Amino acid sequence: MPQTPLLPGSSQAQETSSYGALPPCGPTGSGNIDKEEEDDDDTGASRIGRRKGKSSGSRRVGTMRPTRSMGTLRSQNGVRGTRSMGTLRSQAGSGSGSRRRTRRSEPAPENIYASGIGLPSGDGAKLFEGLAPTMSTEDLGIGDEEEEEGDGEEDVLVDGEEGGDDDEDPLDNSPYPQVRASVSATDNASLSISTPRMWTLSLLFALLGSGTNLFFSLRYPSVAITPVIALVLVHPLGKAWDKILKRDTDPHESFDNGLLATPPAHINGAFDSKRRRLRLWLAQGKWNEKEHACVYISSNVSFGFAFATDVIVEQVKFYHQDPGVIYQLLLTISTQILGYAFAGLTRRYLVRPPSMIWPGTLMSTAMFTTMHKSENRTANGWSISRWRFFLYVWSGAVAWYFLPGLLMPALSYFNVLTWFAPENVVVANLFGVTSGLGLFPMTFDWAQIAYIGSPLLTPWWAAANVVGGLILVMWIVAPILYYKNVLYSSFMPILSSAVFDDTGKPYDVSKILTPDFLFDREAYEKYSRVYLPITYVLAYAVQFAGLSALVTHTACWHGKDIWKQSKKSFAEDTKRGKSEYQPVNTSGLFGISEAANAGAPFNKRGMGDDTMGGEDVHCRLMKKYEDVPISWYIWTFVAMLAIGIFVVEYYPVHLPWYGLLLALAITSVMFIPVGIVMAITNQHSSLYLICQLVCGILFPGRPVANMVFVTYCYISSAQGVKFSSDLKLGHYMKIPPKLLFTVQMVATLVSSVTQIGVLNWMFAYIPGLCTPQAINGFNCPIARVHFNGSILWGVVGPQRFFGPGALYRHLVWAFLVGALAPIAIWLVARRHKTGILRKINLPVLFGSLGWIPPATGLNFSVWALVCFLFNCLIRRRAPAWWGKYTMTLSAALDSGLAFALVIVFFGFVYPGWMDGFRWWGTEVYKQGCDWRACSYRNVEPGGHFGPEGM
Q: How far apart are CA 534 and CA 19, in angstroms?
A: 60
DSSP structure string for 58-78? PPPTT---TTSBTT----BTT
State how far the alpha carbon of 43 is from the alpha carbons of 24, 160, 174, 304, 878, in Å: 13, 10, 20, 45, 41
Q: How far apart are CA 636 and CA 634, in angstroms?
A: 5
* Strand bridging mode 259-260 / 186-187: unpaired
Contact by Cβ (8 Å): 444, 416: no
> What are the helix and strand counts (H, E) for the chain?
38, 6
Q: How far apart are CA 103 and CA 161, in angstroms?
A: 9
Q: Which of 545, 422, 429 is nearest to 482 (CA)?
A: 429
Amino acid letter, 868: F
Give exposure, 790-822, as e/b (b: 16+ Cβ within 10 Å): bbbbbbbbbebbbeeeebbeebbebbebbbebb
> Can you name the residues that pair with 53 across neighbouring β-strands?
150
Q: How far apart are CA 446 and CA 896, in angstroms?
A: 10
Q: Is the dihedral of CA 192, 197, 198, 199 positive or negative?
A: positive
Q: How far apart are CA 148 and CA 153, in angstroms?
A: 13
User: What Rg, from alpha-carbon coordinates, does the chain have?
Assistant: 29
Q: How far apart are CA 11 and CA 400, in angstroms?
A: 22
In 222-327, beta strands by DSSP E: 255-256, 259-260
Q: How far apart are CA 444 and CA 532, in angstroms?
A: 31
Q: What pLDDT is recorded for position 267?
A: 54
Sequence-distant (6+) residues with CB within 8 A of 336 are 306, 308, 715, 719, 748, 751, 752
> Can you name the residues that pair with 158 across neighbouring β-strands?
46
Q: What is the DSSP letter of 600?
A: -
Ranges of the chain whose pLDDT falls below 70: 1-172, 220-224, 262-272, 374-375, 562, 565-614, 683, 776, 949-950
pTM: 0.67
Q: What pLDDT is recorded for position 571?
A: 56
Sequence-distant (6+) residues with CB within 8 A of 624 are 22, 26, 27, 114, 187, 189, 257
> Can you name the residues that pair with 69 across neighbouring β-strands?
136
Cβ neighbours, 10 Å, residue 639 = 14
Report helix, strand or coil for 772: coil
Helix spans in 494-584 (H):
521-527, 534-575
CA angle 362, 198, 243 (to 5 degrees): 105
Q: How far apart are CA 857 and CA 845, in angstroms?
A: 14
DSSP structure string for 886-945? HHHHHHHHHHHHHHHHHHHIIIIITTTTTTT---HHHHGGGSSHHHHT--SS-PPTT---
Q: Phi and psi at residue 156, in whole multiples of 5°?
A: -125, 130
Contact by Cβ (8 Å): 181, 271: no
Q: How far apart are CA 852 and CA 478, in angstroms?
A: 12
Q: What pLDDT is recorded for position 665?
A: 95
Amino acid letter, 684: H
Q: How far apart are CA 729 and CA 740, in angstroms?
A: 10
